[in-house]
Structure 1
Amino acid sequence: MACRQCALPFDHDAGSTICGQCMAESPGFDQAVSGLIYNDTAKSLILALKYGDRLDIAPVLAGLMLSRSRNLIREADVIIPLPLHPKRFFRRRFNQSAEIARHLIHLAGED
């Protein structure tokens, strides 16, 4: 189970759906959704995409994001990837956020 507002996972069976941190101080947004819990497997996937030129991982991550946030994405007017610093873009030759967003838009349109 995860916090309904910030999407951080609870480390125990919480009675509330909002974590103590969000109750104490609102994060300034209505809702966050996480496609995966950041662990060693998730870290390997993300690093392979970012630094290993593994663009084939982008649709996998997009699919995971869509499976956790289908209704939220349907309600969205736009999906905006995080910008990448020009130096990093020049080194990588792609923006990993834009690649994931592109696949997310494609997959969401297939519903």
Structure 2
Amino acid sequence: LQTIERSTWETKTLQDIAQLRTDIASVKEDTPMVDLIGVMDEKSLSKITVLSPAGAVAGVLDRGDILRAVSRQLGIEVSDEAVKQVKEAGEFPAGLQLGAIAQSIQGLK
């Protein structure tokens, strides 16, 4: 809004000012967990946008969400506090090879 003249705020529509963002990292809903972790690690992302099959935003996942999902698949209880710390830090705990763990889970299916 800072670039839009204030006197036009009442007449401008979102369509007039919205710009397509192609630089936002995203994955599809059916992306395997191991690939999701790989993309996030490769691009040093703390969060990633998830797209529906139609290309609409289905949601946003962060590293805490991924930690919780992988731990559930392994039947390991992770405290809410640990998940919160990962969410706030934007990174997995040092030494936690979550990509390798997700790979092993995928191999079990």
TM class by shorter chain equals: under 0.3
> Which has the larger strand fraction?
2
Q: Normalised by the size of structure 2, how large is the TM-score?
A: 0.25
**TM-score, normalising length from structure 1?**
0.24
Q: Which structure has greater helix proportion? A: 1
